Amino acid sequence: MSKEKLTTNQFRMLVLFSTCSTSLLSMPLILGTMVGRDAWLIVLLGTLIGIPHIALFSLMARRHPHKDVFEMSRAILGNKIGTIGMIIVTALPLLTVSTKLHYSLSFITNHLLPETPPVMVMFISMSIVAMGVYLGICSLGRTAEMLSIFFFVPLLMLFVLKASDIHLEFVLPFFRGEQNQYTEAILFYLAITSCNNFLILSIFPKYVADKKKASRAFWQGHLLACLILLLVTLLCISVLGPELMTSAFFPLFTLAQRVSFGNFAERIEALLTILWFITIFFKICLYLYVSVKGIGHTFQLKDTKPLVLPLALIFVFIPLQAFEDAAADYEFYIGPAMWLSLGIGGVLPIILIVIDFIRAKQKQRISDPPKPSQGI
């Protein structure tokens, strides 16, 4: 895997897809449940607050241009403590993937394949994910680049066809909830966007060919994904209204079902399903890829490809055993999963960069001893 290199556009699309993922369907519901009609403001404020974290990731990449996050951890913290850091990073996808898989499984079994056994749905889905990860990050990058048109066209159609149904009165008034609700909503948004993008450092900058343009592509992919989430949330509020948006388990899917343009542009939710499948595929691929790489680095394995299949099989049964129903999934998503993402993706990189700067200054002092003072 070490010889594979992504182009700048491929890396940009991977960042975009992994940032959107299940948030396209779940974010309007969750933020709407927390703060009602102000959900779009949370996306806007959360994007601005999360900018320093993206800048921090870019700084780490510039200081270690030929390492991934696991190698950064070992180089900064040393072998023993660095191994603990690698285990912590590996734990993030392993402990939080259950929410994304269970939510995805609920969507497929409720709207697409209601008669198919859930275990078969997960087995088929993870077989495709395992194949993508086994072929390598370069193959995933090319796939993301080719599928970009199937992502943007349905999304643009949705925005255009529903623009006439927007009711601005659904957006007003602003900030009528309690302060703790807004704080929790912003923390949740940061956890699933900027903090979760800490996992992108398993790819960036080591596996991107043009490292100078890669940082800009990281910014572009992240901010474009946040813009899409902002527009989707705002569209759900202004078309469905805050009450209907929070009562629908998949607000964006409900919104797409109401698209009707003449007698030929109807039932656009089928295209929207393709859009969502694309994003969640790359998100789960990233989670499986990080898990495989993390275990490989922890045990210093030369070839990590044999780990793909057994970990994929574990991913098959995680959503089947993790939660009894959607309510348990929701409680874990806005509770332990959120705090894990904030702690590992939010606090750990700050610790790494602070220690990195301290060690760099210490090395500089050792290499440049003070000059002896000259007498008069």
What are the boundaries of each domain within the chain? 8-356
Q: Where are the alpha helices (DSSP H) in the chain?
A: 8-20, 23-35, 39-63, 69-77, 79-107, 118-135, 137-162, 179-192, 211-240, 242-247, 251-257, 269-298, 308-322, 326-333, 336-341, 348-367
Place of tokens 């927390």: 34
Taking alpha carbons only, the member of 252, 211, 308 closest to residue 20 is 252
Phi-psi region of 210 (alpha: psi -120 to 50; beta: other; left: phi over 0): beta
Give the pLDDT confidence score for residue 376 in this predicted structure.
Answer: 41
**Nearest-5° angle of CA 200, CA 93, CA 32?**
90
Three-state SS at 23: helix
**Single pTM value for the model:** 0.92
Give the pLDDT confidence score for residue 281 in this predicted structure.
Answer: 93
- Would you give the DSSP letter of residue 202? G
Phi, psi of 266, rounded to the nearest 5 degrees: -135, 165
CATH class of 8-356: mainly alpha
Angstrom distance (rounded) from CA 243 to CA 216:
39
Three-state SS at 311: helix
Burial label for 327, CB within 10 Å (0-12, 13-18, 19+), is exposed
Three-state SS at 236: helix
Q: How far is CA 62 from each of CA 217, 261, 264, rounded to the nearest angstrom?
A: 14, 49, 51
Local confidence pLDDT in tens for the 376 residues of the chain: 446 689 999 999 999 999 998 888 888 888 988 988 889 999 999 999 999 999 999 999 999 999 999 999 999 999 999 999 999 999 999 999 988 888 888 888 887 888 889 889 999 999 999 999 999 999 999 999 999 998 998 888 888 888 877 888 888 777 776 777 889 999 999 999 999 999 999 999 999 988 889 999 999 999 999 999 999 999 889 888 888 888 877 888 877 776 666 665 566 667 778 888 899 999 999 999 999 999 999 999 989 999 999 999 999 988 888 888 888 888 898 899 999 999 999 999 999 999 999 988 888 887 766 666 554 4
Q: Determine the residue type at 98.
A: S
